[in-house]
Amino acid sequence: MQAIRTVDATRYITPLREGGSLPAIIEASDGELYVLKFRGAGQGRKSLIAELVAGEIGRALGLPIPELAFVELDDAFSRSEPHEEIQDLMRASTGLNLALAFLPGALAFEPALASPEALQLASAIAWFDAYIMNVDRTARNTNMLLVDGKLWLIDNGASLYIHHTWANFRERSRGAFPQIKDHVLLPYADALAEADIVFYNGHGLEEWLADLLRNAARPGQPQIAVSEGLPALGANDEFREGNPHFWMSAAFGARYLEKIRDGLIGIDPDGRAIYTANAAAYSKELLALNEELKQQAAALPAESRKIVTNHDALPYFAQEYGFTIVGNLLGSAESEPPAGDLVALVQQIKAQNVKAVFSESQFSPQLTATIAREAGVKVVANLYTDTLGEAGLGVASYADMLRYDMRTIVDALQ
């Protein structure tokens, strides 16, 4: 992903008297025009953080979002502004701000003006907004622009609203998103309805998607939770049906295959033979992998097969391959464990002679590193559980991911 550029504001052109962030068009030191969102505006800095995080997620997914840039605003910038309210806003925003590339000739989104190609993005945008919990892409305020028929997403700051209060943030981040029913593009989000069948993990992992599935799916469309019926561990406030990370056991991965095979046969009986043969072949690979992983784990003495992670993603991995989970840094639904819990965890690591603390590639390893340092053990910050990696890293497939994680864990615990 390309680094976010930082430019200096050089000329204030005109305010855009709409939106809670009171944006303005400015010229910057690179000669380009930007829509500047002031950090001193009433919506506050958290709105800009959401704008930045959600915008970069969308850009990484290939959605049409203007380039984001950091903009340095000098204190002297406000002196030539005659309007007192804007002058106060500029003073309150001295320093680093956020901006989007200005789109000349842009029109407010209207379905009648959008090209068919633009509306083909409706399903992807609705999914994206459900994922980032964006409450502000409605008919009243579409936060989309059209340039020569091409659709652009702007103003993603009304998303990720859990970070305005972190109480029970993990549970809330995985909860349903009922506001999707008001999404302006939902009537055009027909890709989900066109699917012959929908597979999802289940056990509460995709609750945020539940309302999108209900509102955009075709009546009678098969929707299959591939983890349904598997024996769950660790039901808690975050996952009331039990921990959903069954795929971290290759044996349970083979059970997922059975659900997928049966679902496909249900909608395409004529394909039974090929679905059965392909599932059997891949299941054989996964069960062989499962034995391979067990042998790698067994090379460690039982007293060494103890792990501490930052995220409760490995209970089925541990159960299948003979590890003991001593603790998880983020084992509760709170934003950060109480200091007393962390002290107790450090004491457990020392008492049980745990050799390493593990973090996953999609999480910041900062807290993990702190615990490892306090306990005097190594930190391993590159496990893969909820994501795959690039081909060059050797984690581009499900089987690769499990092999990589086992190898990394065994190497760290030797």
CATH of the domain at 351: 3.40.50.1980
Instruction: List the domain range (segments joined by +) for residue 35.
Output: 1-102
Q: How many domains does the chain have?
A: 4
Range among 249-263, 319-333, 388-402 with highest mean pLDDT value: 249-263
* pLDDT tens digits, 135-157: 999 988 899 999 988 999 999 99
Band (pLDDT 50/70/90 cuts) for residue 346 is confident
| Cβ proximity of 293 and 406 under 8 Å | yes
Last residue of some domain: 149, 184, 212?
212
- What is the Cα–Cα distance from 38 to 251, expressed in whole angstroms? 52
**What is the mean predicted confidence (pLDDT) over 308-316?**
88
- What is the Cα–Cα distance from 185 to 375, expressed in whole angstroms? 51
Band (pLDDT 50/70/90 cuts) for residue 214 is confident
Range among 12-21, 77-86, 122-131, 181-190 with highest mean pLDDT value: 122-131
| 68 and 141 both lie in a single domain | no
| 309 and 395 both lie in a single domain | yes
Q: Assess if residue 163 is contained within a domain.
A: yes
Q: Given a cut of 60, is residue 334 above it in pLDDT?
A: no
Query: Does residue 283 or residue 127 have the better pLDDT?
Result: 283
**What is the mean predicted confidence (pLDDT) over 237-243?**
83
| 220 and 208 both lie in a single domain | no
pLDDT at 207: 77
Query: Does residue 404 or residue 168 have the better pLDDT?
Result: 404
Query: Does residue 205 or residue 252 have the better pLDDT?
Result: 252
User: 10-24, 230-244, 287-301: which range is least confident on average?
Assistant: 10-24
Q: What are the helix and strand counts (H, E) for the chain?
A: 13, 14
Q: Given a cut of 80, is residue 260 above it in pLDDT?
A: yes
Distance between first and last Cα of the chain: 35
β-pair type (356-360, 378-383): parallel
- What is the Cα–Cα distance from 54 to 278, expressed in whole angstroms? 38
| 345 and 373 both lie in a single domain | yes
pLDDT at 332: 43
* pLDDT tens digits, 270-284: 999 999 999 999 999
pTM to 2 decimals?
0.67
Q: Given a cut of 60, is residue 161 above it in pLDDT?
A: yes
Last residue of some domain: 289, 319, 337?
289
Q: Assess if residue 40 is contained within a domain.
A: yes
- What is the Cα–Cα distance from 20 to 26, expressed in whole angstroms? 18
- What is the Cα–Cα distance from 282 to 196, expressed in whole angstroms? 22
Q: Assess if residue 134 is contained within a domain.
A: yes
What are the angstrom distances between the C-alpha of 55 and each of 35, 196, 209, 361?
A: 14, 31, 19, 21
- 34 — phi, psi (to 5°)? -135, 155
* pLDDT tens digits, 63-122: 999 999 999 999 888 777 777 888 888 889 999 999 999 999 999 898 887 888 888 899
- What is the Cα–Cα distance from 227 to 225, expressed in whole angstroms? 6
**What is the mean predicted confidence (pLDDT) over 206-224?**
80
- What is the Cα–Cα distance from 118 to 403, expressed in whole angstroms? 41
